[in-house]
Structure 1
């Protein structure tokens, strides 16, 4: 089993990462910590194979932890899971050898692909004393490209805006495991209920959301949405 340490100071995000991790075969959770200093202690105690690491912490950054891991010559890989899209941060992360960089909000399929790619590479290295160029190339260039979970630019579609699309996704991610309505998303991100409903219906057609009808005693039934986490 591949031992994983989650380093994240947001309890809701930690919960989602833990839930997603449990759905991927071959991985086990060693622990969850919410600070850089606690992560250092946990790494020395649990000796994890992989970190699921955020960037922003009240004291320090995730890249500071990566720098420490490398300086201590600790055999531990990392996948960054963060809302930080800054180019310098991404470059620094790969400079310290992260195996992947997931930008919040993300969906389960992308998370799973990242872990499976890591597991396949690790198992291949452990099973072979010498690695052929073909095997190296397979993990450098990947056997297949990841399928994008978001279209390149929804602005190409009449009546849709890419920034609003991204805000709706962020609002959905903030809801965590909760079922939600178009009205709740509208209030959270500052758009009209009609606008939120259009984007939610589109995401449901993309099979990123599940939707069910909630019937009250009076009035029309409400659409209740939930992030779809299955393949």
Structure 2
């Protein structure tokens, strides 16, 4: 049964895991994140079915291995009986087949135990953005255009882990400045010095060099030495992505 969307309401979560200790850890993780409430914990197939039917959760955190059922089978059951309920698998299973089956069955994300809170938090924050955008679009429009579809997936789901979010960068590197340095390096066809790139985007030579060296370490920029007539050789940076 579909529920009317209210952006002010917390996302209601059902945890399904036969390990009570893990369920309690996941409950605490969920409730550290603003906008979420755990409404139930189920440890076996019967409890899971009953709570799914009665509670109609927005989101299920689901394990794969249970003594009395397969989590992948239960994922498909959820999609049949509660199509508006989303699922995130949180499991010790690392087999490619399990991941593939979960994705094909409509899972939102797949997190491997032991759960790292930062990874878990990123997924839930992205899911909240995704859910709010999708529900808002559903209320406002009968049709959706390509731009709205693209916006729906920006910074959400797996796309968040394909790019390097700020918390993954080393100290002294932020994403906005990095993108500016990268763009400047791409625009300068024949390579340029840190001083030239810094001047182009309005940062110091030292700062530009720090970012350029980071891009070199990531394999996105090549650095070579240029020997001028006078003085020390200068490092020249050229982007691989022309």
Aligned partner (choices 109, 122, 147) of residue 134 of structure 1: 147
Residues 64 and 142 of structure 1, relative CA distance in 2, 3 Å threshold: same
The alignment covers a number of residue pairs equal to 149
The runs of at least 4 consecutive aligned structure 1 residues that moved more than 6 Å come to none
Q: Which has the higher contact order (CA 8 A, sep 6+)?
A: 1
Does residue 68 (structure 1) correspond to residue 68 (structure 2)? The answer is: no
| Matched-pair contact (CA < 8 Å) for 1:9–1:34 | yes
Q: Any residues of structure 2 matched to 1:150-189 within 5 Å, and which?
A: none
Q: Any residues of structure 2 matched to 1:114-129 within 5 Å, and which?
A: 114-128=123-137, 129=140
Match of 1:106 in 2: 115
| Matched-pair contact (CA < 8 Å) for 1:36–1:61 | no
| Matched-pair contact (CA < 8 Å) for 2:17–2:42 | yes
Aligned partner (choices 36, 40, 60) of residue 49 of structure 2: 40
Match of 1:197 in 2: none
3-state SS of the aligned residue for 1:60? coil
- Offset at 1:37? 2.3
Aligned partner (choices 27, 31, 34) of residue 36 of structure 2: 27
| Matched-pair contact (CA < 8 Å) for 1:36–1:62 | no
2: CA distance, partners of 1:134 / 1:105? 37
Deviations 1:148-204 (CA, angstroms, capped at 9, x unpaired):
9xx9xxxxxxxxxxxxxxxxxxxxxxxxxxxxxxxxxxxxxxxxxxxxxxxxxxxxx
- Offset at 1:122? 0.8
Structure 1: where are the runs of 5+ without partners?
152-231
3-state SS of the aligned residue for 1:9? coil
- Offset at 1:73? 4.9
Residues 86 and 139 of structure 1, relative CA distance in 2, 3 Å threshold: farther
Match of 2:160 in 1: 145
The structure number with the bigger radius of gyration is 2
1: CA distance, partners of 2:102 / 2:18? 19
- Offset at 1:16? 0.8
TM-score, structure 2 as length reference: 0.57
Does residue 78 (structure 1) correspond to residue 81 (structure 2)? The answer is: no
2: CA distance, partners of 1:31 / 1:47? 10
2: CA distance, partners of 1:110 / 1:85? 16
TM-score, structure 1 as length reference: 0.60
Q: RMSD in angstroms over aligned alpha carbons?
A: 2.0
Match of 2:234 in 1: none
2: CA distance, partners of 1:125 / 1:28? 20
2: CA distance, partners of 1:7 / 1:106? 15
